[in-house]
DNA sequence: TTGAAAGCGATACCAG
DNA sequence: CTGGTATCGCTTTCAA
């Protein structure tokens, strides 16, 4: 059995079946080689007369010829596809980065092979295999402690522990933490609590150390009872809600919370409200990321913005750059830092002018 | 030049370079044909002695052999990949459906080729071409008025105007609308306003007609000034906010709003609050979808739940079924309806027991 | 029970 | 300027 996976739609003239280079070759009385050269605008095609080129291009259009990428890739060793590894396709974080990646790669003609791993080790290992079998040209891993991928170009987003030969797009966590801490310190807060990320999240430790350092720089130190770590692996606000519950049980003596991200900040707000504290009057909450929810939610959320979409674009661009460079110059790993931005929100004024104020 | 796209990671023994069937063949002194048969568990392999089979499997593992899917697809005419066409990767709707699709197809060994079109016609046309060139085995289109895709199996999600030979996963809009209307009617509302979806959204008209019909069945008819259509192409709550603004300017005489979806419902709530009306005391708002935001947002949102994730799973399963069926039995288009569910929420009680009540 | 060989469709050398 | 031809890695008859 050997039916083609995809037949070309019937073209003008009612022809049918797959149109291949051979079809055009027979129709035009030219060799497949010449046709291929013209269609790809290869340098060798410059030697072919304009008239012939035109004939070829017109025939291709008339027959609705579509080059078979499978065959092309097999021969050329380039699949023009990129593997994307991502924890899940949830609200906010992943989705925003993914959107940036997709837009950039798609418009450069690359296909995306996406795998969501849900933090499961077995899927991570399987993914390495799948990427290899599909011969992706490069891999982008988002928020993932990635296993060593063979010698193909790899770019990570928010993976703080880069292997050599891996380009890494990261938020400048030091500045981000400083913004959060200075903001709260400037509002007069001295008793500040922290919600740490889950242990599986690749940014948890970096951000926590940055927050500690920033606190120290304004003369503060975190008491153990003012620190709680999220545990549940849910892309909702529940882990933050629970962690805040623990903070309250551990004494609850704080006037502000620095949450790991916006989702947990919202969980924190709900927990505080449910516990009878008002936000932001009794307790101020600061998040990270600035997901769409941050501006929609009431009370609105002050947060340290991470340019997520842009980080996706940067990752994709890094991949494209590497792939377009000659192999020998692909050596060094780079670290690309993106700048955070403090977004201070108040609950009033919506699409009526200045909804938020950036500092 | 002919460097392979992807070199296998050095296997045990420090061998290097791509491991192909040829490599194994030379190592084992067996033909590539036999090895292929065993590795694929093809029926013809039953005639091969157990001992030989074991040798082959062990060698494959030892060499870390990964079959080249490109070559396999080229030869077999099956790419084991599916094209997914989706408006965007935003909060809620698309992301949830996409997640269901991805999980199902990935664990069946299929690769996903995802394209987001942002409702742009040029991208839609380009996508047809790209899917053809990559020889995807099938296409899933989500919330998209899809151009005619060649003769390959196609499944749509929430596309109300199905071509023949296209399987369509849709919400039972009639029941969904009825739930919304009966809920509001049951609460005593008689002056009800409606926010219609944008003209480009594939479900706008179906849902609107369903809402009209349900209203009629409880003896209500919508006055023109109680209807507003969203216009902006934004995956945020802003279009709903604006539409509600228009409703208020058009008279504002209503005690309830049926919004096109949750995002617009939240926009409506904010617009009402900004206009000095309280929710739900002055005006009740009902949404559709039950995106994650619906339960996180305060005031919480009563909504008609669409099993989005499940719809993605169903779409993927429909594709797999079709692909596993013999070509001649692939004939008829099916319409798969999924049941909505009314989710009534009150603002209290969070993760402390019954957060929501399903009817 | 196994192997040889013919492709799948495109690209890239080497001739002429 | 253009064409033949080997090849990418795999599957699948057809022979032995």
Residue by residue, DSSP assigns A169-197 as: EEE-HHHHHHHHHHHHHHTT--SEEEEEP
- A165 and A312 housed in the same domain: yes
- A127 and A248 housed in the same domain: no
- Measured CA to CA, the distance from residue A88 to residue B99 in angstroms comes to 8
- Residue A348: predicted pLDDT: 41
Q: Is pLDDT of A105 > 70?
A: yes
- Residue B9: predicted pLDDT: 37
Q: Is residue B15 a part of any domain in this protein? A: no
Contact list, A8 vs chain B (CB under 8 Å): 132, 150
In chain B, the residue whose alpha carbon lies closest to the alpha carbon of A91 is B91
Give the CA radius of gyration of chain B: 26
E-assigned strand segments in chain A:
81-86, 111-116, 138-142, 154-157, 166-171, 192-196, 227-229, 256-258, 284-289, 302-305, 335-338, 341-345, 356-358
Largest CA distance in chain B: 86
Domain range holding B297? Answer: 173-307
C-beta atoms of A102 and B114 within 8 A:
yes
Q: Is pLDDT of A248 > 80?
A: yes
- A180 and A277 housed in the same domain: yes
C-beta atoms of B137 and A274 within 8 A:
no
User: What count of other Cβ atoms lies within 10 Å of the Cβ of residue B58?
Assistant: 11
**B173 in Cβ contact with B207 (< 8 Å):** yes
- Residue A291: predicted pLDDT: 87
Q: 184-243 in B: which are within 8 Å (CB) of A?
A: 236-238, 241-242
Alpha-carbon distance values, A90 to A65, A86, A123, A235, A263 (Å): 38, 10, 18, 7, 11
At A14, is the pLDDT very low, low, confident or very high (cuts 50, 70, 90)?
very low
- Residue A260: predicted pLDDT: 96
Q: Is residue A303 a part of any domain in this protein? A: yes
- Measured CA to CA, the distance from residue A165 to residue A108 in angstroms comes to 23
What total of structural domains would you count in chain B?
Answer: 3
- A191 and A290 housed in the same domain: yes
- Residue B149: predicted pLDDT: 73
Q: Can the peptide bond before residue A181 be classed as cis, meaning omega within 30 degrees of 0?
A: no
Q: Is residue A214 a part of any domain in this protein? A: yes
Tell me: the pLDDT tens digits for B4-39?
333 333 333 334 568 999 999 989 899 899 999 999
- A238 and A292 housed in the same domain: yes
- Residue A162: predicted pLDDT: 67
Q: Which of B5, B136, B270 sits opposite A79 (nearest CB)?
A: B5
- A165 and A80 housed in the same domain: yes
- A287 and A179 housed in the same domain: yes
Contact list, A88 vs chain B (CB under 8 Å): 99
Task: For nucleotide C13, give the residue with the nearest CA to its C1'.
Answer: B1
Q: Is residue A243 a part of any domain in this protein? A: yes
Per-block average pLDDT, block size 10, for chain B (359 residues)?
A: 36 57 90 91 86 91 93 93 91 86 94 92 90 94 80 86 81 95 94 94 91 94 95 90 95 93 94 92 94 83 95 96 77 84 71 33
Q: Is residue B1 a part of any domain in this protein? A: no
- Residue B13: predicted pLDDT: 35
Structure tokens at B134: 């990559």
- Residue A144: predicted pLDDT: 87
Q: Is B41 exposed, middle or buried (0-12, 13-18, 19+ CB in 10 A)?
A: exposed
- B315 and B264 housed in the same domain: no
Tell me: the pLDDT tens digits for A164-219?
778 999 999 999 999 999 999 999 999 999 999 999 888 899 999 999 999 999 99
Q: Is residue B348 a part of any domain in this protein? A: no
Q: Phi and psi (nearest 5°) for A347?
A: -75, -5
CATH number of the domain residue B91 falls in: 3.40.50.2300
- Measured CA to CA, the distance from residue B197 to residue A68 in angstroms comes to 39
The set of residues, in sequence order, having a beta carbon less than 8 Å from that of A222 and lying 6+ positions away, is A192, A193, A194, A212, A215
Q: Is residue A358 a part of any domain in this protein? A: no
- Residue A252: predicted pLDDT: 84
Q: Is residue B188 a part of any domain in this protein? A: yes
C-beta atoms of B79 and A70 within 8 A:
yes
At A146, is the pLDDT very low, low, confident or very high (cuts 50, 70, 90)?
confident
Task: For nucleotide D4, give the residue with the nearest CA to its C1'.
Answer: A31
**A33 Cβ within 7 A of any nucleic strand C atom:** yes
- B243 and B260 housed in the same domain: yes
Question: Whole-model pTM?
Answer: 0.87
**Interchain contact B249–A (C-beta under 8 A):** no
Q: What is the mean pLDDT of residues A106-127?
A: 92
CATH number of the domain residue A26 falls in: 1.10.260
Residue by residue, DSSP assigns B50-84 as: HHHHHHHHHHHHHTT----HHHHHHHHS---EEEE
Q: Bridge partners of B81?
A: B111
Compute the mean pLDDT over every residue in chain B, rounded to the nearest whole number.
Answer: 86
- Residue B292: predicted pLDDT: 81
- Residue A8: predicted pLDDT: 36
- A236 and A184 housed in the same domain: yes
- A316 and A167 housed in the same domain: yes
- B161 and B182 housed in the same domain: no
Q: Phi and psi (nearest 5°) for B305?
A: -70, 135
Q: Which of B70, B74, B95 sits opposite A95 (nearest CB)?
A: B95
Compute the mean pLDDT over every residue in chain A, rounded to the nearest whole number.
Answer: 86
- Residue A51: predicted pLDDT: 86
Where helices occur in A169-307 by DSSP H, the ranges are: 173-186, 204-217, 238-249, 262-274, 292-296
Torsion of CA B192, B197, B203, B207, to 10 degrees: 10
In chain A, the residue whose alpha carbon lies closest to the alpha carbon of B150 is A9
- Measured CA to CA, the distance from residue A352 to residue A335 in angstroms comes to 39
CA–C1' B75–C1 (A): 25
Q: 148-187 in B: which are within 8 Å (CB) of A?
A: 148, 150-152
């Amino acid at each position: 059995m050997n039916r083609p996976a995809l037949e070309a739609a019937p073209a003008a003239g009612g022809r049918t079946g797959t149109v291949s280079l051979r079809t055009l070759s027979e129709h035009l009385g030219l060799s497949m080689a010449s046709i291929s050269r013209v269609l790809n605008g290869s340098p060798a095609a410059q030697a072919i007369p304009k008239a012939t080129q035109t004939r070829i291009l017109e025939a291709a259009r008339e027959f609705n010829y579509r080059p078979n990428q499978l065959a092309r890739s097999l021969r050329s060793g380039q699949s023009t596809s990129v593997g994307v590894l991502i924890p899940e396709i949830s609200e906010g974080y992943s989705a925003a980065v993914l959107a940036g990646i997709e837009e950039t790669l798609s418009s450069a003609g690359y296909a995306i092979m996406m795998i969501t791993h849900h933090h499961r080790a077995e899927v991570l290992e399987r993914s390495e295999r799948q990427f290899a079998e599909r011969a992706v040209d490069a891999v982008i891993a988002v928020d993932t402690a990635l296993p060593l991928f063979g010698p193909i170009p790899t770019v990570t987003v928010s993976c703080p522990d880069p292997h050599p030969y891996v380009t890494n797009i990261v938020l400048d966590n030091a500045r981000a933490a400083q913004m959060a801490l200075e903001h709260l310190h400037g509002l007069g807060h001295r008793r500040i609590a922290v919600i740490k990320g889950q242990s599986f999240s690749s940014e948890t430790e970096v951000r926590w150390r940055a927050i500690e350092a920033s606190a120290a720089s304004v003369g503060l130190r975190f008491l153990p009872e003012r620190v709680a770590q999220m545990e549940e692996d849910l892309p909702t606000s529940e882990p933050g809600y629970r962690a805040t519950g623990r903070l309250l049980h551990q004494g609850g003596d704080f006037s502000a919370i620095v949450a790991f991200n916006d989702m947990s900040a919202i969980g924190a707000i709900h927990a505080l409200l449910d516990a009878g504290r008002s936000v932001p009057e009794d307790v101020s909450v600061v998040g990270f990321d600035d997901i769409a929810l941050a501006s929609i939610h009431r009370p609105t959320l002050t947060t340290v913005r991470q340019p997520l979409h842009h980080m996706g674009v940067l990752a994709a661009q890094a991949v494209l750059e590497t792939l377009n460079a000659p192999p020998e110059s692909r050596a060094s790993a780079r670290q690309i830092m993106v700048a955070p931005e403090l977004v201070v929100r108040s609950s009033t004024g919506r699409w009526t002018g200045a909804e938020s104020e950036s500092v």
